[in-house]
Homo-oligomer: A and B are copies of this chain.
Amino acid sequence: MHRSNPSQSDRSNGSAAGTPPTGPEGLAGADFLQLNPADAPAGGLADWLTDRLRAAISDGRLPLGTRLPATRVLAAELRISRGVVTEAYQRLTEDGHITARARAGTTVVAAPLTTTAPPEHRAGGAAAQHAGEVDGSRRTPTEGRGLRARRDGKGAVVEQPGLDVFDSLRAAPARIDLTPGVPDLAAFPRSAWLRAERTVLNDLESSAFGYGDPAGTPALRRAVANWLARNRGVAADPDDLIIVAGVSQAIGLVAQVLKDRGITEIAVEDPGSLGSRQHLQNWGLTTTPIPVDGDGLRVDLLRASGAGVVMATPAHHFPTGVVLEGERRRELIQWAADGGLILEDDYDAEHRYDRPPVPALRAMLTDQVIYAGSVSKLLAPSLRIGWMLPPPQHKDALIGMKRLADLGNAALPQLTLAQLMESGELERQLRFLRRRHRTRRDAMVDAVRNYLPTATVHGAAAGLHLTITFDDSSNDVELAAAALHKGVKTHPLSWHCQLPHAPGLVLGYAARTPTEITEAIAIIAEVR
C-alpha cells in the first residue's frame, strides 16, 4: 500500500510510513489488561501470561493491529523477568496471533478462531498441531444464518450490515454512483449482442428452446473453456464446466454441497467481499475470517484455523487489490495438497493496467480448487451468467444443485455469449473497456491525491475499483452515509471486514466519467 501513488504496486513498500496503518500505538504497561502476576499459579508465569494475552486478543480487548508493549516495558510493569514475556510473545507468534517486525513492533495479526475441530474432509496434517490451542465455541449453522454475523466474544465485533443492504443501497437515489463491482455499463455492446443473437437464432435447432442440460449449453461451455485457456491460463474440458447465474450462485451451490457433506465452516479473506460472505452465511456456513496482509492471505493463519475450505481471490484480492505473493501461493498450494479445498473467485481477473497478468490458481491446482468466474465485470451483472470449474469429485453434486436451483441457465443468452466469445467480440470489448477504465482509474487516483491527501490508496493496479483507507479512527459507515447524503454512493470498507480494520471506502471508478469521479471525491473530502 502506498500514499496516493498508482505507479507503485499494491503490496510493495508496506512500511513506508514506519507504522502499521491500524491500531492504537504502544499500549503502555501499567493498566495494560489489568494484569496482576499475583493471579498466576506458582511456577506458571509464562503459561499464565500467554493465556491472558490470548484471551484478550480473542475477546477483542486487543483488536487486530494493536501493538503490544515491548517485552522490556511489560516485564518492568509487571515486575517479572523479561524472559517470561519473551516466551509468551514467542508462543503467540508461533500460533500466528501476533507478529514481530523490525520497526512495527509486536502486533496482533489474528484473533484465535472460534473453532479448532477440522471439518470432516480435511486431512489432519499440519493443522492438527494447533488443535486445542485456541478456544471458542463453533457457531451452529442456524446461528450463522441470522441477519447479522458477529464474531463470538465480547469486544471484537464489527457491526455487520443486513442482508438487504445492497438492495437498499441500490434503491437510494444518488447523483454519482461509485458502488464497486460494475464495469462501464454504458459500454455494453448492444449492437454486437443483437448481431450475435440474430446469428444464433438463424441457425438454432428448435430443441434448444426446450429443457436443456442443467450444466449449460455445450456451445457456451466450449467457448468458456477456450476463453479460460486464452485469458486465464486454465486448461478446462468443456464437459467439466458448469454454467451458473453468476459467481454468487456458484457460491450458493458450493455451500449447499459442503453442507450436505457435513461441512459447516468456510474460511474467508478479511477484508473480503461482504456479498460473498452473506451468501455463505445464508446457506448456513460459518465464515471464519483469515487476515490478508500486503502479501495476501495469511496462509499460516488459515492453517492454524483448522478450516478445511477457504474462499479466496488470489489473483486480485477484493477489496484491497493485493496479489497473492509467490511464497504465499506455494504455501496455499501446499495447504490444498494437504487436503484443503479452495473456492477461487476470479472475479475481475481480466481488468489490469500496471501489472503483469496473474494466472488463476486453478491453472496450477486442478483437484483442490473450485474455480468460479463470470461476465458480470466484463459485460454486465444483469446477464447473470458465470461458470464454475470444479474438481471431478464435486462435479456431479454441483450439477445436481444447479438443477435443483433453476434447471439450468436460460439458453438464448448463453448461446449469444458463446457467439461473442468465439467471434473475438468479447476480447475487443475487454480491450476497449481497459482503455476507458484506465483513464477513469487515473482520474480517481488524481482526485484522491488532490482532495484526500492523507488517504492511502490500495489496489489501483487492476480491477474496477480502488480502496482508500484513513490512518485514524474515523467511522467509515458514517462517512459513506454522509457522502450518500450529498449524492455520492460508495461502500464503507468496514462492510467488507469481520475483524477490526482501518476505516476506508471502496470506490468503483469503472462506471463513471472522470468529471463525475473528480466531483465525487471532492464531495467525499468535503463531508469527511
| Chain A contact residues, CB within 8 Å of chain B | 163-164, 166-167, 170, 181-182, 185-186, 188, 190, 193-194, 197-198, 201, 204, 206-214, 245-246, 248-249, 252, 279, 282-283, 379-385, 400, 403-413, 511
Contacts and interface: CB of A to CB of B under 8 A. Distances in A.
Chain A: interface secondary structure?
helix
Contacts of A283: 404
Given A167-B403, A193-B201, A210-B182, A408 B380 contact: no
Given A404-B283, A407-B248, A410-B384, A206 B194 contact: no
Q: In the assembly, how many copies of this chain are there?
A: 2
A383 B210 CA distance: 9
A312 to B, nearest CB: 21
B411 A413 contact: no
A400 B279 CA distance: 11
A145 B271 CA distance: 37
Query: Among the interface residues A185, A211, A283, A409, which one has the most CB atoms of the partner chain B within 10 A?
Result: A211
Given A282-B404, A384-B406, A384-B410, 8 more contacts: A163-B400, A163-B403, A182-B210, A194-B197, A248-B406, A252-B406, A382-B411, A384-B409
Contact of A404 (B210, B213, B246, B279): B279
A406 B246 contact: yes
A406 B279 CA distance: 10
Contact of A166 (B190, B201, B211): B211
A230 B249 CA distance: 35
Contacts of A404: 252, 279, 282-283
A209 B412 contact: no
A15 to B, nearest CB: 32
Contacts of A249: 405-407
Contacts of A197: 194, 197
A170 B407 CA distance: 13
Contact of A185 (B210, B245, B246, B403): B210
